[in-house]
Chains A and B, each alone.
Chain A
Amino acid sequence: ETGVTQSPTHLIKTRGQQVTLRCSSQSGHNTVSWYQQALGQGPQFIFQYYREEENGRGNFPPRFSGLQFPNYSSELNVNALELDDSALYLCASSLSTDNEQFFGPGTRLTVL
């Protein structure tokens, strides 16, 4: 059984640019959640997608947006990058909305 995968592993962008991060959920999982983890902090919830619909959003501005596809993979898009967006971005998938969430390895984003 393949676990959660994320791409790319690392990314360097400059302030004002846009970025797209990708996530493939674990087989059989229909729910994907995205988190941002700054250095030395716990992950912060960005949003969750269930069966291609947004199913909850954390305290992040609208320039953070997402998509979920029919195969339940997902994308996180961030527009107008700011220096504070530098972090580890984690994707987690689950069987459904209230089941255990299994995390991918993350994408390390650096904004210069």
Chain B
Amino acid sequence: EDQVTQSPEALRLQEGESSSLNCSYTVSGLRGLFWYRQDPGKGPEFLFTLYSAGEEKEKERLKATLTKKESFLHITAPKPEDSATYLCAVQAGDSGYALNFGKGTSLLVTP
């Protein structure tokens, strides 16, 4: 059975304090790993797709990386507006085209 585990569950950072969020996965035949940002009461906002180990993608202060067992979302010099829940999801061969989500990491960046 596919499993996606995100850590930590919650993270509090000072503005400018860089850190990383982890997403570990156990799937058969990874098709893609997706990162989303979700603000309270809203739908997830697409950030990145990663397809193969070694791949990296960047957008502003965010950088996503992928290995065969996990993905990291690195946040460099975060700002308060980066506060949100970050969700990781996998699409795997044995579960069709469904996205299998982790529970998310709730990030709070304080001034």
Given contacts A43-B44, A98-B32, A100-B49, contact A56 B102 (CB under 8 A): no
C-alpha gap A56/B91 in the complex (Å):
13
Binds B, one of A14-22, A63-71, A78-86, A101-109: A101-109
- A55:B34 contact, CB within 8 angstroms: no
Cβ of B45: which chain A residues have Cβ within 8 Å of it?
A: 103
- A55:B49 contact, CB within 8 angstroms: no
Instruction: Say if the beta carbon of B25 comes within 8 Å of chain A.
Output: no
Q: Looking across the interface, which residue of chain A has its beta carbon closest to that of B88?
A: A42
Contact of A56 among B42, B46, B49, B96 (CB under 8 A): B96
Instruction: Say if the beta carbon of B73 comes within 8 Å of chain A.
Output: no
Instruction: Say if the beta carbon of B72 comes within 8 Å of chain A.
Output: no
- B46:A98 contact, CB within 8 angstroms: no
Residues 30-77 of B at the A interface (beta carbon under 8 Å)? 31-32, 34, 36, 41-46, 49
- A105:B96 contact, CB within 8 angstroms: no
Q: Looking across the interface, which residue of chain A has its beta carbon closest to that of B98?
A: A45
- A103:B96 contact, CB within 8 angstroms: no
- A97:B102 contact, CB within 8 angstroms: no
Contact of B97 among A88, A98, A102, A103 (CB under 8 A): A98
Instruction: Say if the beta carbon of B87 comes within 8 Å of chain A.
Output: yes
C-alpha gap A44/B87 in the complex (Å):
12
- B98:A33 contact, CB within 8 angstroms: yes
Instruction: Say if the beta carbon of B100 comes within 8 Å of chain A.
Output: yes
Residues of A at under 8 Å CB distance from B?
4, 6, 31, 33, 35, 40-45, 48, 55-56, 58, 88, 90, 92, 97-98, 100-106, 108
